[in-house]
């Protein structure tokens, strides 16, 4: 077997072990923060889940806020932000795809819901993350609704900016209700109903 000189050698040994350990810590923190929030979930809770001391955990994440940001980035790697996957995907198709996917990862949705609400408390390290995320979502949906308006596909009187903010608010609210009673709340169906109220059929 020959090796490709352009391909870097696979990393083994201490680096790979350290990476796996970091991943296990972040996964454990994901569970802890989703269940207890950032304030209620302690570093010791996380350390206990991965079978290590809190001192050892601090070697990988010197501050609890560092661990929170790593958990939020993990969340982003699991689920998308609602933007169209490709240019052929419509806004409605994008929202339906994302909502259907979210129903398959309830732990991720629980984490998002708990930490988003908690980020409004004093000096919460996640506030900037959620503020920027909401701004990005509103901007993304505003562009999509504005494009539909240019095509003459928004119902009369619908303002693209308010429609975008309403979609974000509706989605978060429906997700919270779905977490409480998934057998009673059709998250994707509620979002589709809203979009059908503001978007004209092709």
The answer to whether the 14-76 and 80-198 domains have the same CATH topology is no
- Please state, in angstroms and rounded to a whole number, the distance separating the CA atoms of residues 148 and 170: 20
- Domains of the chain by residue range: 14-76, 80-198
117-161 pLDDT, tens digit each: 999 999 999 999 999 999 999 999 999 999 999 999 999 999 999
pLDDT band at 12 (very low <50, low <70, confident <90, very high): low
Task: Check residue 5 and give its pLDDT.
Answer: 47
Task: Check residue 86 and give its pLDDT.
Answer: 61
Q: Which two tokens stand for residue 141?
A: 């949906």
Examine the pLDDT at 83 and tell me if it is beyond 80. Answer: no
pLDDT band at 202 (very low <50, low <70, confident <90, very high): confident
The CATH topology of domain 80-198 is Tetracycline Repressor; domain 2 (1.10.357)
Least confident segment among 19-33, 66-80, 164-178: 66-80
Mean pLDDT comparison of 2-16, 88-102, 154-168, highest-scoring range: 154-168
| Count helices and strands in the chain by DSSP H and E runs | 9, 0
Q: What are phi and psi of 124, to 5 degrees?
A: -80, 130
What CATH architecture applies to the domain 14-76? Answer: Orthogonal Bundle (1.10)
Examine the pLDDT at 51 and tell me if it is beyond 50. Answer: yes
Q: What is the CA radius of gyration of the chain?
A: 21
Average pLDDT of span 65-80: 87
| DSSP code per residue over 50-72 | HT--HHHHHHH-SSHHHHHHHHH
Q: Which two tokens stand for residue 55?
A: 């001192």
Closest CA to 97 of 191, 166, 23: 191
What's this model's pTM, rounded to 2 decimal places?
0.80
């Amino acid at each position: 077997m020959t090796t490709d000189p352009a391909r870097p050698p696979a990393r083994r040994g201490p680096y790979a072990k350290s990476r796996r350990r970091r991943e296990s810590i972040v996964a454990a923190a994901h569970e802890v923060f989703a269940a207890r929030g950032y304030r209620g979930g302690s570093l010791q809770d996380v350390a206990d889940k991965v079978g290590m001391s809190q001192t050892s955990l601090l070697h990988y994440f010197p501050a609890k806020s560092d661990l929170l940001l790593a958990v939020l980035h993990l969340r982003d790697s699991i689920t998308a932000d609602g933007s169209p996957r490709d240019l052929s995907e419509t806004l409605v198709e994008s929202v339906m795809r994302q909502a259907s996917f979210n129903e398959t990862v309830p732990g991720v949705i629980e984490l998002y819901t708990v930490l988003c609400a908690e980020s409004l408390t004093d000096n919460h390290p996640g506030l900037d993350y959620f503020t920027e995320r909401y701004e990005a979502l509103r901007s993304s949906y505003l562009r999509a609704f504005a494009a539909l308006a240019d095509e003459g596909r928004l119902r009369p009187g619908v303002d693209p900016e308010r429609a975008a903010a309403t979609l974000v608010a509706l989605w978060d609210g429906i997700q919270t209700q779905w977490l409480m009673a998934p057998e009673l709340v059709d998250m994707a169906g509620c979002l589709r109903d809203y979009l059908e109220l503001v978007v004209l059929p092709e």
